[in-house]
Amino acid sequence: MRYCLALDLKDDPVLIAEYERHHKKIWPEIEKSIRDSGIEKNGNLSHR
C-alpha cells in the first residue's frame, strides 16, 4: 500500500529552495518513528 501527502507550494523559487533546505535533513527521532511505523522508502517528487 502506498500513502501520499501532496503540498501546494507558492510558485516562488526562493521559498521552494528554502523549504527544500529546511526539510533535507530530518531529526533521527523522526526518521526512527517513520521506520518503526513500517515505512521503508520515502520519496520526494516535485512537479514544477
Reported as a single tens digit per residue, the pLDDT across 1-48 is: 677 777 787 899 999 899 888 888 888 898 888 889 888 776 665 555
Q: Which three cell numbers stand for residue 7?
A: 503540498
- Distance, CA of 35 to CA of 33 (rounded, Å): 5
CA dist list (Å): 14 to 18, 20, 25: 6, 10, 18
Q: What is the pLDDT of residue 14?
A: 94
Q: What is the pLDDT of residue 43?
A: 64
Q: Is residue 25 part of a domain?
A: yes
Q: What is the pLDDT of residue 12?
A: 92
Residue among 37, 43, 32 at smallest CA distance from 6:
43
Q: How many domains does the chain have?
A: 1
- Distance, CA of 35 to CA of 18 (rounded, Å): 26
Residue among 16, 42, 45 at smallest CA distance from 30:
42
Q: Is residue 45 part of a domain?
A: no
Q: Is residue 3 part of a domain?
A: no
Q: What is the pLDDT of residue 45?
A: 53
Domain holding 26, by residue range, is: 9-37
